[in-house]
Amino acid sequence: MKKILKSTAIVIASVAISGIATTAQAGDLNVVSWGGAYTASQMKAYHKPYTKMTGTKINSIDYSGGLAEMRAQTEANNVTWDVVDVVISDAITGCDEGMFRPIDIDKEMAKAPDGTPASKDFLDGTLKSECFVPLIIYSTVFAYRDDAWGGKKPTSIKDVFDTKNFPGKRTLQKSPVNNLEWALLADGVPLNKVYDVLDTDAGKDRAFAKLATIKKDVVWWTEGAVPPQLLADGEAVFGTGYNGRWFSAIAEEKQPFAMLWDGQVLDIDGYVVSAKSKNLDEAMKYLKFATDTQRLADQAKYISYGPARKSSGPMVAKHAELGIEMGPHMPTKYADQGFLTNFAWWADNADEMKERFAAWLLQ
Amino acid sequence: MTDQTAAGGVVLAADGTPLKASLNRALRRNRIRAVMLVAPLLLFILFSFLIPIFDMTFRSVDNWHVGTLMPKTSAALAGWDGKDIPEEPVFVALVADLQAGAKSRQIGKVGTRLNYEKSGLRGMITSSARKSKRLKEGPYKAKVLKMHKKWRDLETWAVIKRNTAPYTIGYYLNAVDMKYGQTGEIVMQPENRRIYGKLFIRTFAISLAITVICVILAYPISFLLATLPLRYSNLLMIFVLLPFWTSLLVRTTAWIAMLQSQGVLNDLFVFFGLVDDENRLQLIHNLTGTIIAMTHILLPFMVLPLYSVMKTIPPTYMRAALSLGANPVVAFVRVYMPQTLSGIGAGSVLVFILSIGYYITPALVGGTDGTLISNQIAYHMQSSLNWGLAGALGAILLASVLALYLLYNRIVGIDNMRLG
């Protein structure tokens, strides 16, 4: 028996230790981001020029989102992450809980080349938290297999919920976020009324009821890399995913997919600085550099996310390696077909909606 | 050895000290040495296992947020009778707390805590804290009530008052699909929010199924391993251990490639005409996928204890039974199998307890009906950041595993379990 206890303890302990991340040396800047093509674009556009200019080494760390690690570091009073790339909803929560440093956007961030103060240069509605400097606009959007239904092509979000005319599996994120909005859109709610309807009990029931009509045709995903894979394997004909992932599947891997921009949900992603960062000065210096007009425009050469500054927009040109025009692949070009996610509504309702969604999945 | 006996009848050692004392000293030295040897392991278990478990369990009842971050409001609400919206003194305290909380940037924690009990209170607290900076002088009641409609709701005040207590059972209620009702009584969650009870039952059922399948699959393999000549059994052993040494993620994703509807297995079925191309079997992203992948991953934990027990059973027992007239089946069931029970017990406990806590594999291949309670715990740890609820779910899981373990001990006896 003792042996069992001991061997079990060793197994558990070794699992625990493998979770402990390696920490970097002091003096270097630890910048945390989402990994994959996105981090690669930031390395090329921000990190390399910054290191060249200042000599400061930047350690790029990957994570999969969420505030768990930041909260753990803050609570343990041992913050090793200096600059973190977060979605705006996490920025708001973390800012309210004191994890992130408030930033005076006009005083501390770079002006546009023509002298416009930063607060006027960032796109309207993107400065929603005083700790947050926006980098990109991305969207969660449907794509479909172009060869799935002969010559027939879906044109609206309603077609996603039409399993008779467009049969096949759909792959959706295993989360109520966005899916409830899409269900209402497909049920005939206009774009600008979605959150008003969702705020009522009847509206929530309506969204879940509409979602139930395709429940048996849905493969749920949890990792952003999965939906392009499922479509490529023919496991699904429709999928929701981040537009940058669809772009690389279509443009770089030449997959037979097409975008359905209708109903795209725009979201904002950007940098925050840890309130307890040990390299606060360096972090702020990096932040000012990385979020200036040129850097944001440079990033768009490597990935199809829209830069968050107005002044960067006209500078977006061709993909640095593929040579294709990036403009038509930017979600901001199709902004009128979608809507900006309502962070405040989700901040209040995510706990309840996610529980209800999990219960709904079990039914 | 020349034993000396002193006047009092005490046996003395060679150096003249009493033998008993000198023996004790030697034993103590040995004990200290033994403790020193295992000290690194003990410390490691303490820091990486016991303290985290204690910490998370404590979080499942800890309720410091409101009392610490809104001390004035908490004090002012102590005398509130709950029948009507509180009077001006409470609002004076509330505004002071909100202003202080906004300044120290901690008020979001109160919002987060309250939002677990009632949706919308996070927004009420954080937006009111921002607006409170502009409030210069009273009376505050009318001004605060105008800030957010939820301040005019009696239930809001009941929730705040309830959470001024330093400890709560709210997380445990949530973990068993219950909650506080509008007047503070404990009620079941509405039907469309009940998940954890179902998930606990499913987790135990799936773990049991996996354990049974593992026994059925591992028994013949272990028998072969234990009885075949060495050169064959070594090869077989490598087949058992090779997947054991391969990364968990690699094995799980390999199952995805095998089982998906455009995958290897379905292709073979279609090729041999077992299923037609339109109706490929759904073998992954559901319960089937979870059971197949987890059985494969946990199989070595069953094979190894069984093998090591079977290895110690002398083949002469079976020969004796046969020569005494039993037919092979009877001899196997009545002579061989009872001797392997300790291995079955050890393997089953290992597999069952491991599968109860499994989460990576079900997360990847479980779809909707193949996910376990551990996936919800991981979700609350990583995404929703409701560590209190994660702690409560974990504590319930830990308690039920311990209960099952004691039950096993009572019925089978833990001393009958052998790993070799």
- The CATH number linked to B220 is 1.10.3720.10
> Do the chains contact at A352 and B195, CB–CB below 8 Å?
no
Q: Based on the domain organization, do B50 and B73 belong to the same domain?
A: no
Residues 51-90 of A with CB under 8 A from B: 66-68, 71
The answer, for A350 touching chain B at a CB cutoff of 8 Å, is: yes
Q: Which CATH architecture has domain A29-137+268-334?
A: 3-Layer(aba) Sandwich (3.40)
Q: Give the whole-angstrom CA distance, residue A28 versus residue A125.
A: 33
Residues A49-77 have pLDDT tens digits of 999 999 999 999 999 888 889 988 998 89
Confidence of residue A136 (pLDDT cuts 50, 70, 90): very high
Residue B219 lies in a domain: yes
Residue B362 lies in a domain: yes
Query: Minimal CA–CA distance to B160: which of B106, B124, B187?
Result: B124
Residues B389-399 have pLDDT tens digits of 999 999 999 99
The answer, for A362 touching chain B at a CB cutoff of 8 Å, is: yes
Q: Based on the domain organization, do B81 and B114 belong to the same domain?
A: yes
Residue B102 lies in a domain: yes
The single-letter DSSP state of residue A21 is: P
Distance from CA of A71 to the nearest CA of B (A): 9
> Do the chains contact at A347 and B414, CB–CB below 8 Å?
no
CB–CB of A101/A273 below 8 Å?
Answer: yes
Q: How many domains does chain B have?
A: 3
Q: Based on the domain organization, do B311 and B326 belong to the same domain?
A: yes
Top residue of B117, B385, B408 to mutate, by most chain A CBs within 10 Å, is B385
Q: Which amino acid is at A14?
A: S
Distance from CA of B22 to the nearest CA of A (A): 31
Domain residue limits at B53: 11-57
Residues A248-294 have pLDDT tens digits of 899 888 999 999 999 999 999 999 999 999 999 999 999 999 999 99
- List Cβ neighbours of B126 (8 Å cut-off, separation of 6 or more): A96, B107, B108, B111
Q: Based on the domain organization, do B201 and B315 belong to the same domain?
A: yes
Provide the pLDDT for residue A329. Answer: 87
CATH code for the domain defined by A139-266+339-362: 3.40.190.10
Rounding to the nearest 10 degrees, give the CA dihedral for residues B351, B353, B354, B357. 150
Q: Mean of the per-residue pLDDT values for chain B?
A: 89
Q: Based on the domain organization, do B116 and B237 belong to the same domain?
A: no
pLDDT for residue B175 is more than 50 = yes
Residue B73 lies in a domain: yes
Q: Based on the domain organization, do B204 and B325 belong to the same domain?
A: yes
Q: Based on the domain organization, do B327 and B215 belong to the same domain?
A: yes
Look-up: residue for tokens 């979020």? A291
Distance from CA of B250 to the nearest CA of A (A): 15
Half-sphere exposure of A114 (CA within 13 A, CB side): 7
pLDDT for residue A9 is more than 70 = no
Which residues in chain A have Cβ-Cβ distances shorter than 8 Å to B382? 66, 68
Residues A167-202 have pLDDT tens digits of 999 999 989 999 999 999 999 999 999 999 999 999
Q: Give the whole-angstrom CA distance, residue B165 versus residue B110.
A: 13
Domain ranges of chain A: 29-137+268-334, 139-266+339-362
Q: Based on the domain organization, do B130 and B29 belong to the same domain?
A: no
Rounding to the nearest 10 degrees, give the CA dihedral for residues B168, B172, B174, B178. -100
Query: Minimal CA–CA distance to B226: which of B120, B75, B321, B339?
Result: B339
Q: Based on the domain organization, do B239 and B360 belong to the same domain?
A: yes
- The ipTM assigned to this model is 0.76
pLDDT for residue A5 is more than 50 = no
Which residues in chain A have Cβ-Cβ distances shorter than 8 Å to B417? 1, 4
Q: Which residue has the higher pLDDT, B200 or B14?
A: B200
> Do the chains contact at B111 and A68, CB–CB below 8 Å?
no
The predicted model scores a pTM of 0.81
Q: What is the DSSP string of A177-217?
A: TTHHHHHHHHTT--GGGHHHHHTSHHHHHHHHHHHHTTGGG
User: Which neighbouring-strand residues pair with B178?
Assistant: B188
Residue B337 lies in a domain: yes
Query: Minimal CA–CA distance to A261: which of A339, A338, A341?
Result: A338
What SS3 state is found at A59? strand
> Do the chains contact at B368 and A359, CB–CB below 8 Å?
no
Confidence of residue B6 (pLDDT cuts 50, 70, 90): low
Top residue of B59, B107, B112, B126 to mutate, by most chain A CBs within 10 Å, is B126
Residue B319 lies in a domain: yes
Distance from CA of A20 to the nearest CA of B (A): 11
Distance from CA of A219 to the nearest CA of B (A): 7
Residue B186 lies in a domain: no
Cα torsion angle, B71, B75, B76, B80, sign = positive
Q: Based on the domain organization, do B121 and B228 belong to the same domain?
A: no
Query: Minimal CA–CA distance to A307: which of A282, A332, A339?
Result: A332
Q: How many CB contacts within 8 angstroms connect chain A with chain B? A: 106
Q: Based on the domain organization, do B96 and B49 belong to the same domain?
A: no
Which residues in chain A have Cβ-Cβ distances shorter than 8 Å to B108? 93, 95-98
**Region A192-215 average pLDDT:** 95
Residue B402 lies in a domain: yes
CB–CB of A306/A40 below 8 Å?
Answer: no
The answer, for A200 touching chain B at a CB cutoff of 8 Å, is: no
Q: Which of A98, A349, A360 is nearest residue B105 as measured by Cβ atoms?
A: A98
Q: Based on the domain organization, do B263 and B395 belong to the same domain?
A: yes
Top residue of B62, B121, B193 to mutate, by most chain A CBs within 10 Å, is B193
Residues A95-122 have pLDDT tens digits of 988 999 999 999 999 999 999 999 999 9
